[in-house]
């Protein structure tokens, strides 16, 4: 199997898992994987991530330009490219739209959500104990993706749990697709816990 063919299978499987968890409703979200030759395999714009077919995965260069001019990548492709440029170890990027990430990011008045005392925090790189506080930065939603990318840029290197765009969703990445999926599941679990605690007033 070629590297691209394997990447397609990784992306399709990730889309089904994210859909099963309710993290990519309608046509929301996007998924990518870096190829060995430097290209980026990514979901094309507009497809439902739970019903992806091989033809729904295209390739773009490091700046987000499609190799086939007839293909239209998501407008948010630039944010995937930025992660690969900023983190040479990143091999996969996941972007989802869960209820917890959407609601919490809209009601949180500070610039980050604080996650503390959860065992699951250890899924993130550099976290070795529950006895710590992990900040997940929040950025204002912006249809100008290049401007949004400039807001995110200074925070690379201090976002082990990824980041959240307010009212929009999460961005999580890892060295490969299994790692990225584990981090997404860990973050979504922690966000769900935080939302439940706020409902309970604790």
User: What is the maximum span of the chain, computed from C-alpha positions, in angstroms?
Assistant: 52
Contact 124, 160 (CB under 8 A): yes
| CA gap 198, 202 in Å, rounded | 6
CA 43, chain centre distance (Å): 13
| CA gap 182, 107 in Å, rounded | 26
- The DSSP string of 45-88 is TT--GGG--GGGEEEE-TTS-BSSTT--B-TTHHHHHHHHHH-T
Contact 121, 130 (CB under 8 A): yes
| CA gap 64, 53 in Å, rounded | 21
Tokens of 114: 């604080």
| CA gap 123, 145 in Å, rounded | 29
The answer to whether 168 is a known ligand-binding residue is no
The answer to whether 155 is a known ligand-binding residue is no
Q: From the annotation, which residues make up the binding site?
A: 95, 97
| Feature table: binding site for Zn(2+) | 95, 97
């Amino acid at each position: 199997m070629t590297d691209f063919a394997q990447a397609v299978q990784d992306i399709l499987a990730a889309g089904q898992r994210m859909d099963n968890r309710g993290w990519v409703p309608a046509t929301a979200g996007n998924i990518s994987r870096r190829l060995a030759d430097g290209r980026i395999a990514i979901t094309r714009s507009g497809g439902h991530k739970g019903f992806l077919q091989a033809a729904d995965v295209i390739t773009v260069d490091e700046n987000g330009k499609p190799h086939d001019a007839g293909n239209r990548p998501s407008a948010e492709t630039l944010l995937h490219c930025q992660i690969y440029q900023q983190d040479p170890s990143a091999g996969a990027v996941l972007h989802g739209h869960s209820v917890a990430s959407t609601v919490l990011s809209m009601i949180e008045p500070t610039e980050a959500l604080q996650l503390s005392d959860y065992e699951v925090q250890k899924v993130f790189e550099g976290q070795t104990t529950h006895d710590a506080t992990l900040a997940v930065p929040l950025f204002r939603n912006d249809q100008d993706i290049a401007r949004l990318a400039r807001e995110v840029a200074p925070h690379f290197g201090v976002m082990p749990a990824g980041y959240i765009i307010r009212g929009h969703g999460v961005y999580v990445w890892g060295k490969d697709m299994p790692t990225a999926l584990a981090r997404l599941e860990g973050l979504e679990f922690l966000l769900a816990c935080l939302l439940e605690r706020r409902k309970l007033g604790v």
